[in-house]
Structure 1
């Protein structure tokens, strides 16, 4: 069993097809097909159900996919650890960031990191926190940014804590209040982020603690679009104060949400007990300085 065949198989599954997998690993589609066939012959079981241009995992393929991801992650960790032992300041930082707040929090860190470590390649993955935690758990990422609390299988370093604000149309009489609780707005339609965003969990859990389920009118992954929806009277939305301050809108007011356990509390997260490569430790140090 060779690393190249495992990598080809993992990328076919991850990219959803042979052609995109070939682009990802800089190989021809024919070479990828041969690698998958070689792996299936070696294991003696089919790994993919091929249906035209689409393919899905067989039961055996599901098992091999999970194990292959772990093997590849362990190989990458081994190489990183040996590089650190040799004092090599090159390498790869495998970093996962959520879309919300990335520009505000991490652009300065990226600039400082690139200036200080120009030979380290940054492989950035942007997803909601749930997907990022799965990738971290599988060993495919070294670090992710996620809202606290996180599972006890992870360690974390705090980055920032911000209150949430409620975005309301300027015409809503509640804008005259200095702060709001969720019970004050429970009858209004909610505009939430898409399901992969950790901020949704914060809001929905808080609603549950207050004994109601909100009426969700729209879900989106775009902050600017959400602000415009509020301005158009489609409902109310919730943002961290630092992000709301950057989206000033003449028809929208931001009122502090005075609700326990709803702060935007974000941290850098890694697997507890795992080896943290030099590239990742350097990012942690710079992000800690930036958070001060």
Structure 2
């Protein structure tokens, strides 16, 4: 069994798709299928259970998944270090990004970085902040962009965005004429919430508890557009960063500032005391310059 087989297997499991994994690895989908078939032949047991378009790990697949992660992470680290020793200004960079970050300045920053470093391949993985932290810790991601990076001895951090959340409601909602709201004003509302693997989910829920009530969740989603559509349909309220609220149509949604806002704080994290490749160092330096971070720990 080769490293490339394990790498392909991990990408398929993480992305839930042969075609998406093949695209990330720059191979064809039949080639990805062939690698998994070769693994299963060597092991004598299936590693994935396929039903319609859904993929599920078998028991042996789960065991391989858990043991393959540190092996592939060590190989990536060695490969990156050897490239740097050879002074090659190239490499592969794996960055975890929460969906909400796609509405910030990141698309522009990533585009400028790719033009400056055309030989660095950047692969983006969209997860919630909690999942990104785990993937960075396990070595499956080089860097992660997360909401509300906290003091954690396992990670180094670079903070660069702080944006207050505002309440969005449909124009017909009773709160739509208010110019300022507190969390106490939202006690009777149904919330369209971020998924539980998003740190903003916990931040909003905790602030509601501080205001004396438990959040009533109508729907959970990771997609900002779906969230705004649900609110526009009158199915609940939601909280979005001010920068995103500024782009919303007032004919479809009202955005109302808060007296005691929760803040979207975005920052990069990477595993402390782990080798950081030329590609990762270059991205951090570039992002630091472009986004003028407030602090580095």
TM-score, normalised by the number of residues in structure 1 = 0.85
Is 2:259 the counterpart of 1:258? yes
Cα separation, 2, equivalents of 1:172 and 1:228: 14
1:116 and 2:120 aligned: no
| Residues 79/180 of structure 1: CA separation in 2 closer, same or farther (3 Å cut) | same
2:33 to 29, 33, 37: 29
| Alignment map for 1:57-136 (pairs within 5 Å) | 57-58=58-59, 61-136=61-136
Name the counterpart of 1:277: 277
How big is each residue's C-alpha offset from its partner over 1:181-209, in whole Å with a ceiling of 9 and x where there is no partner? 21111111112133333322211121123
Q: For structure 1, which segment, 269-278 or 2-11, has the greater mean C-alpha deviation from structure 2 after superposition?
A: 2-11
CA contact (8 A) 1:90 1:120 kept: yes
CA distance in 1, matches of 2:50, 2:189: 47
* CA distance in structure 2 between the aligned counterparts of 1:142 and 1:82, rounded to whole angstroms: 16
Q: Is the 8 A contact 1:95 1:124 kept in 2?
A: yes
Q: Distance in 1 between matches of 2:21 and 2:116?
A: 33
Cα deviation, 1:77-108, whole Å, max 9, x if unaligned, reads 11111111221101111111111131422122
Q: Which moved more, 1:190-199 or 1:82-91?
A: 190-199
Displacement after TM superposition at 1:235 (Å): 2.0
Distance 2:251 2:13 in 1: 46
What is aligned with 1:184? Answer: 185
**What displacement does 1:141 show?**
0.8
Give 1:241's aligned residue: 242
Counterpart-to-counterpart distance in 1, 2:48 and 2:102? 38
Change (3 A) 1:183 1:79: same
- Uncovered stretches (5+) of structure 2, i.e. residues with no partner: 293-297
Segments of structure 1 that go 5 or more residues without pairing to the other structure are none
Q: Out of 20-29 and 212-221, give the one that drifted further.
A: 20-29
Q: TM-score, normalised by structure 2?
A: 0.83
Q: How many residues align?
A: 285
The Cα RMSD (Å) is 2.8
Offset at 1:21? 6.6
Over alpha carbons, which structure has the higher Rg? 1
1:222 and 2:226 are equivalent in the alignment: no
Residue 295 (structure 2) aligns with: none
2-structure distance, mates of 1:246, 1:287: 24
